A = this chain, B = another copy of it.
């Protein structure tokens, strides 16, 4: 997905939130915004939003020396999700359609995103999404691919959401590789976060090599790219991965909540809609 004009105010708001997370003073954050402002002319609307996100978070680290300002927020997100885990497993197991219930929970977990908004209510979100219709619902295609797949490449998004991913992976019944970011950026899931979420019990965890808050193929390592090219089935969670992979030539199932109106418009849905979309490969 390209960068839209309306992404630019959002980049500025993200910079403010990241600066506050890094305990920067107001004047320091103003300096960060001034620097971002000066960089705007070098940000192309043809680049993807996560590429700009990377610039923002690198700038915060360069100014503050804090490499992982969202560390505590991520730990709290994982801890809260783990506290819900036993109850959610029971919900899935007692459901008439455990796979679909687990998909709904995995989408609900996508609310744990400190890049887009900064606040969330995970329990309220679970209740909402259990009854919410999907705006795009390629569930038949999902099951068809899943039945045929020998293995699944599952690209994670946020720390905490990762616990919800574990629940869905448990229901897929396939060998799964769980893909994480290469280094801390916003509250995106890293190797350590995935381990803390218990994902080692259900998947092999690998890094995409991408340091941006999304999956940008040009910034990924060879190991990931080869697995991505060869995967029987790919599940991509959240906005950042969609933004980087929406023009992909691979059959990807995008699973997300549209948390901003720009991405919603790009998908042809409304803000707050939930989506399970099978990527149409352009031929």
Contact = CB atoms under 8 A, between A and B. Distances in A.
Contacts of A76: none
Nearest to A40: B37
Contact of A41 (B6, B8, B9, B37): B37
Interface residues of A, number: 21
Contacts of A38: 37-38, 40-41
A281 interface: no
Interface in A21-53: 26-27, 29-30, 33-34, 36-41, 45
- Of A9, A30, A37, chain B has the most CB atoms within 10 Å of the CB of A37
Contacts of A36: 37, 40
Given A34-B40, A36-B37, A37-B40, A26 B5 contact: yes
B34 A5 contact: no
B33 A40 contact: yes
A45 B41 CA distance: 23
Contacts of A195: none
Nearest to A12: B9
A16 B5 contact: yes
A40 B32 CA distance: 10
A10 interface: yes
A82 interface: no
Interface string A149-163: 000000000000000
Contact of A6 (B13, B27, B45): B13
Interface string A133-170: 00000000000000000000000000000000000000
Contacts of A45: 26-27, 30
A40 B16 CA distance: 14
A9 B12 CA distance: 5
A216 B129 CA distance: 48
Nearest to A3: B30
14 contacts: A5-B26, A5-B29, A6-B16, A8-B16, A8-B33, A9-B9, A9-B12, A9-B16, A27-B45, A33-B40, A34-B40, A34-B41, A36-B37, A38-B38
6 closest A-B pairs by CB: A37-B37, A37-B40, A9-B12, A34-B41, A9-B9, A9-B13
Given A9-B13, A12-B12, A38-B40, 13 more contacts: A5-B26, A5-B30, A8-B12, A9-B9, A9-B10, A9-B16, A26-B45, A30-B45, A34-B40, A36-B37, A36-B40, A37-B39, A37-B41
